Structure 1
Amino acid sequence: MTIIKTGDKTVKIRSIVSAVFALGAVPASAQSSVTLYGVVDTNVEYVNRVGSVPLPTNFYNSGLGHSVVRMNSGGVAGSRWGLRGEEDLGGGMKSLFVLEGGFQADTGALEMPSTLFDRQAYVGLRSNSFGQLTFGRQYTSLFLGLANFMPASYAVQYEPIAVIAGPNFRENNTVQYAAAAGPVTAIAHWSFGVGLSLPPTSPFAQQVMVGGNGEMPGRFRADTGYGAALIYMPGAFGFTVDYDQYNPSIAQGSGTNKRAAVAASYTFDGKAKVMGGYRWGQNKDQNGLTVLRDDYYWLGANYQWTPVVELTLEYDYENVRRLNGNAAVANPWQLIFMARYSLSKRTDLYLSTAYARNAGLMLESSASGYGASLFLNNSYAPGVGQTSMIGVAAGVRHIF
């Protein structure tokens, strides 16, 4: 068995789809390998007008907004470590596994309490002819499909990942199939129980977000999820079409949370990449009543200003058409700017800043269920009466 340390390509989130299908990770003479990889990303951040996440313990009241200076784990990437392995079975067939866990670099704690490999944990088979089939905790098809079309590349600060792909963008108990033919990649998945469990952030929040592990006798539909993605990237131009659904348990029934997305990108001279897209969303409760109906749009670009400096600009806009019967919700929007300076292939410095209107950073609002704050253990909920928020973070990322 060979232990291999990896560089930027193994963990770079914008290459996540390519990593799923990469076939050349092992030397031709090797029969098996295990790769150790990871990221440590820490920053110091200033945010204004921050309140508490609305929860039953504070009677769903975020309180007054205050400025805060804090140290965070995760800026351009979440801190993590992982093991990736494969064995050549012959005849163009390989077995493979991935175990990946997130941690808080500022405290050393697990990213998700009591879960060692919260990011990914799966095993499967890959065939040169028939594609890849994997089993375990995995990213949804929609999340993977959009990975190469998000300007901030799913940055922990401040891209609204949970608004884009849903709080269920990683799902337990998942069977996933992926195959590539030329410039076309297809992905499909089914989860027997998404494993999503978040506290309610309003009297209606459980109908928007919470699910569970499912797999209950007599309730096959409970907490299940499924989706598909089609990605076309022949060269400078790229395009994707994606769908995701999960069915959270509510009382003795199941709701439906649905998302469909299209996105495109174009690369100019290898230095500038422009990308954007649209995501349709609809959440219904166990009685078929619409809890949330929204449209989400994004537009942005990456620019390689110098060989060591990359700039990112992104605009996000959410049109909340209906929220718990209210059709007159102020629409959240956000502007992000990021600058990254590479000290080497494995270490870089970065500056991230964002301004949000009608929501907190990452578009945190009652429409999002404050999912990002709950996942990150750092509130971006605006204080009572606040309609805007600004954040600035400076940090360092090291890849191993």
Structure 2
Amino acid sequence: MKKSLIALALTGAFAVSAHAQSSVTLYGLIDTGLVYTNNQMGHSNWQLNSSSTQNTVFGLKGTEDLGGGLKAIFKLEQGFILNNGAQAFSGDMFGSQAWVGLQADQYGTVTFGRQFDVMNDLVGPLTAEFNTWGGSLAAHPFENDNLAANSVVINNSVKYASPTWYGVTFETMYSFSNQTSFASNRSYGFAVSYAQGPINLAAGYLQLNGAGNGSGAVQTSDASANFVAQRQRVWSLGGNYTYGPVTAGLVWSHSQIDNASGVFSFGTGTYLGSGDNSAGSLAGSLRLDNFEANVKYALTPAWSVSGAYTYTHGAYNGSNPGWNTAMLQTDYAISKRTDFYLEGVYQNVHGAPEGSVLSHAMINTLSPSSTDTQVAVTVGMRHAF
């Protein structure tokens, strides 16, 4: 009898130990709000909008301790539209993220699957458009540099992230086209960051070959591609400094888009410029330099105010269009998981060729204006679980 009790106790102990060494977590974020826009396709508009600041998602993530500082990890995440429950990435069961990998304390992490790119991982957090205190509405024109929170997701990718050494972290990735024409629709990039005390610095490079052209690393079928182009190259550099309740930052990015034929409009759910549409045409090479200044001030642990201004200088078919994008937000958290925000965004474009997509202001997540100016104000709430 005693032997049976001892065996039962040992079995229970091992079960608890095994359970402690592995875990699976259900998580998510819901973002919804009412948005007023002064001009969408020539008309003012009130709408219930999903993901105005952050992607609305749910997912599963897990880890298993393999011993010796080695872990198996995974994440499966689905983005969705709260208004009607539709998939944010049409046709993808786990369109936001789907990857598995190994993590070693000493050597870093290798992951495989559908993932966010390395520049978005390390440089993105220095921008207002990536964070809750700015978010998707505050993105640079056409989200041309992929620094907003997790909008472009890349298929067939292998990513390596180093451990942090003296505040320095390095990431690199390669995404296969998975086609016999090896370079047809592939992607690669690298990024490095430094965080020590109040200082955060980061820089990165991302290249997309043939994005949106058929299947491969970045596709139009699920709206992962921001541009349909022969090649897109993005350089970025940024930093911020925290002093007490204030964090201020500067970010520069350069996007070089060769033989562009279309740009995705989150508001209309279509690719503008790639056919006959009221927003105009897009054909040729496009160069965009984004200069962002941002600041966040925590008035109390629960209440914050933030702002950002981005000037974007462009070069397109002999013209030099320019965009002014400004954002102001105030946010109040009523708990650790629930907060409310009020945000306004202004965008104006000048110098763009008439009849092109570029001549219309288009705040991210909204349909384009019929003029060169667009203003949006949203009041919303977020809940994390």
Give the corresponding residue for 2:311. 317
Distance 1:124 1:338 in 2: 37
Q: Does 1:182 align with 2:157?
A: no
Q: 1:106 to 1:240 in 2, by over 3 A?
A: same
Give the corresponding residue for 1:277. 251
Q: How does 1:205-224 map to 2 (within 5 A)?
A: 215-217=178-180, 219-224=181-186
The TM-score with structure 1 as length reference comes to 0.75
Q: How does 1:71-150 map to 2 (within 5 A)?
A: 71-150=48-127
- C-alpha deviation, 1:251, in angstroms: 8.1
Q: 1:133 to 1:241 in 2, by over 3 A?
A: same
Distance 1:237 1:166 in 2: 19
Distance 1:281 1:153 in 2: 17
Q: What is the aligned-residue identity percentage?
A: 29
Give the corresponding residue for 2:278. none
The SS at the match of 2:157 is strand
1:376-398 deviation line (CA, Å, top 9, x unaligned): 4x41x111xx1211100001111
Give the corresponding residue for 1:173. 156
Give the corresponding residue for 2:35. 45
Count of residue pairs the alignment pairs up: 321
2:302 to 308, 312, 325: 308
Q: How does 1:336-347 map to 2 (within 5 A)?
A: 336-347=327-338
RMSD: 2.6
Q: Does 1:328 align with 2:320?
A: yes
- AA of the residue aligned to 2:145: I
The TM-score with structure 2 as length reference comes to 0.78
Which deviates more, 168-177 or 336-345? Answer: 168-177
Contact 1:162–1:371 (CA under 8 A) maintained in structure 2? no
Which one scores higher on RCO, CA 8 angstroms, separation ≥ 6? Answer: 1
Task: Find the structure with the greater CA-based Rg.
Answer: 2
- C-alpha deviation, 1:366, in angstroms: 2.9
Contact 1:162–1:372 (CA under 8 A) maintained in structure 2? no
Q: 1:315 to 1:251 in 2, by over 3 A?
A: closer
1:333-367 deviation line (CA, Å, top 9, x unaligned): 111011110010000111111111118xxxxx835
- AA of the residue aligned to 1:327: S
- AA of the residue aligned to 2:325: Q
Q: Does 1:395 align with 2:380?
A: yes
Distance 1:245 1:146 in 2: 15
Q: 1:100 to 1:371 in 2, by over 3 A?
A: farther
Give the corresponding residue for 2:139. 159
- C-alpha deviation, 1:35, in angstroms: 0.9
Contact 2:347–2:361 (CA under 8 A) maintained in structure 1? no
Q: How does 1:331-370 map to 2 (within 5 A)?
A: 331-358=322-349, 366-367=357-358
- AA of the residue aligned to 1:32: S
The SS at the match of 1:182 is coil
- C-alpha deviation, 1:129, in angstroms: 1.1
Give the corresponding residue for 2:266. none
Distance 1:251 1:119 in 2: 20
- C-alpha deviation, 1:264, in angstroms: 0.7
Which deviates more, 132-141 or 274-283? Answer: 274-283
1:382 to 352, 356, 369: 369
The SS at the match of 2:144 is helix
Q: 1:250 to 1:72 in 2, by over 3 A?
A: closer
Q: 1:280 to 1:158 in 2, by over 3 A?
A: closer
- AA of the residue aligned to 2:155: N
1:249-285 deviation line (CA, Å, top 9, x unaligned): 6989x8221011110100001x110011111121223
Distance 2:372 2:129 in 1: 24
Contact 2:295–2:308 (CA under 8 A) maintained in structure 1? yes
For structure 1, the residue ranges without an aligned partner over 5 or more in a row are 1-26, 52-64, 194-214, 360-364
Which deviates more, 311-320 or 241-250? Answer: 241-250
Distance 2:360 2:186 in 1: 20
Q: 1:301 to 1:250 in 2, by over 3 A?
A: closer
Q: 1:81 to 1:220 in 2, by over 3 A?
A: same
Q: 1:250 to 1:390 in 2, by over 3 A?
A: closer
